[in-house]
């Protein structure tokens, strides 16, 4: 019976188009994912022949064919499928023939992009000829789909066409993509905007400090600093120094040297990020300032700047371990965490002295102590660790025991359980 060859009943775009639903209602035209899914789904439709498709109305769960009756007699005439489906037809000759009229259908340009990466050479070449005639602003609207398809073996043509249009076309086309929700599209737009010098150093600094994508953080921070070297306003560097992202902040701290503002690096010696602290030490040393005495002074009262404890371990001497062990009992949890990090950096962790911190009331301190004790995991008694998996213990203590048990097994200890 015909119902045995029915379309999928989940309302997919290919099925809806086959039922006669208009294209703009069958899928979201702005979604690159929807067009790719349509191209895949159309290949699995029950094509009545290589050129025709049985027309069907929308299907409901209560319709007769689901109970074994065939409401569509064999006398129902075959009607040509929509052009969108023909452009995705499993027969390459059908796809090539559909391209002859697709050039006059702007709404089907996403399928034109898909056909540019087609496995069949004649289809691919015809689609590329048509896509090359698409105006630049129209091509920009297809950027997300083009970049997605560029990962395919034959996807390079549309990608090169898009890049060329963005590099040589109006600046507004690039601007339109800077805030695109697709990450790959944003990256391309920013890379081209930087290459064309479309963004001021201050705007680049603002993007670097607010953008969540680390690739764009690096790109824009570097470009902003290049503008600073070319004589941009000094506020650019100050903006970078306030960034939440450590990699952007570290770029700003390193740039203090070239700007002749070495002494300002001192305020970043106790930064929460290790990479920022390292950059601050580098800048100070380039100015002839030894950061170690500064760290020792900060650790006399690290409450306001807990990162000083970690920094002391990163550049201190063995005798500074005593100071850090005292700070593991500091009333401020942040200081205890950073002092443990400093002891790790100084390679001065003691199994006996660090183990009590596994019972610290603050989860962050337990996590830091666990990380410090992992190299000594084989020294823990397995039974003791197993008792710490009890549900009445704090969650952080249970997780610490699990990590230590796994590391103990990895190091050749007796398997837990």
Q: How many CB atoms lie within 10 A of CB 44?
A: 13
- Residue 62 and residue 220: Cα distance in Å, rounded? 57
Query: Mean pLDDT, 10 residues at a time, over the chain (417 residues)?
Result: 32 80 88 92 66 37 33 41 87 89 88 94 95 91 95 94 94 94 96 95 94 94 85 82 94 93 95 96 96 96 95 94 96 97 96 96 97 94 93 95 93 58
pLDDT in tens, 172-214: 999 999 999 999 999 999 999 999 999 999 999 999 999 999 9
Q: What is the pLDDT of residue 154?
A: 92
Q: What is the pLDDT of residue 413?
A: 62
Q: How far is CA 21 from CA 57, 91, 232, 266, 281, in A?
A: 9, 23, 56, 66, 66
- Residue 118 and residue 133: Cα distance in Å, rounded? 18
Which residue ranges make up each domain of the chain?
Answer: 199-289, 300-348, 354-417
Exposed / middle / buried, residue 140 (Cβ in 10 Å: 0-12, 13-18, 19+): buried
Q: What is the pLDDT of residue 2?
A: 27
Q: Is 231 helix (H, G, I), strand (E, B) or coil?
A: coil
The model carries a pTM of 0.78
């Amino acid at each position: 019976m015909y119902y045995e060859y029915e379309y999928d009943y989940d309302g997919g775009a290919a099925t809806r188009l086959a039922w006669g639903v208009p294209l703009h209602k069958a899928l979201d035209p702005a979604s690159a994912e929807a067009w790719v899914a349509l191209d895949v789904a159309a290949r699995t439709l029950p094509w009545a022949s290589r050129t025709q498709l049985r027309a069907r109305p929308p299907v409901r769960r209560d319709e007769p064919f689901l109970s074994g009756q065939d409401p569509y007699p064999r006398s129902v005439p075959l009607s040509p499928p929509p052009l969108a489906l023909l452009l995705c037809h499993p027969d390459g000759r059908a796809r090539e023939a559909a391209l002859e009229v697709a050039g006059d259908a702007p709404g089907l340009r996403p399928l034109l992009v898909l056909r540019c990466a087609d496995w069949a050479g004649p289809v691919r070449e015809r689609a590329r000829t048509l896509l090359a005639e698409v105006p630049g602003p129209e091509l920009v609207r297809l950027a997300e789909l083009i970049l997605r398809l560029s990962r395919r073996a034959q996807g390079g043509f549309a990608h090169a066409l898009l890049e060329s249009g963005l590099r040589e076309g109006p600046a507004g086309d690039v601007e339109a993509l800077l805030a695109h929700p697709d990450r790959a599209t944003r990256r391309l737009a920013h890379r081209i905007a930087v290459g064309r010098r479309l963004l001021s150093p201050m705007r680049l600094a603002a993007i670097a400090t607010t953008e969540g994508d680390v690739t764009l953080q690096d790109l824009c921070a570097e470009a902003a600093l290049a503008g600073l070297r070319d004589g941009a306003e000094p506020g650019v560097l100050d903006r970078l120094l306030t960034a939440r992202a450590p990699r952007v902040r570290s770029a700003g701290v390193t740039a203090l040297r070239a700007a002749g503002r070495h002494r300002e690096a001192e305020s970043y010696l106790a930064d929460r990020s290790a990479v920022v602290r390292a950059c601050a030490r580098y800048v100070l040393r380039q100015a002839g300032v030894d950061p170690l005495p500064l760290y020792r002074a900060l650790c006399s009262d690290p409450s306001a700047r807990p990162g000083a404890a970690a920094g002391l371990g990163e550049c201190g001497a063995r005798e500074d371990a005593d100071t850090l062990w005292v700070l593991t009992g500091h009333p401020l949890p942040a200081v205890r965490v950073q002092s443990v990090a400093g002891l790790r950096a100084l390679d001065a962790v003691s199994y006996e002295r660090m183990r009590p911190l596994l019972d610290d009331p603050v989860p962050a301190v337990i996590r830091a102590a666990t990380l410090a004790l992992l190299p000594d995991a084989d020294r823990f008694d397995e039974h003791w660790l197993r008792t710490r998996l009890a549900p009445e213990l704090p969650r952080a203590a249970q997780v610490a025991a699990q990590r230590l048990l796994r590391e103990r097994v990895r190091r050749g200890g007796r398997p837990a359980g």
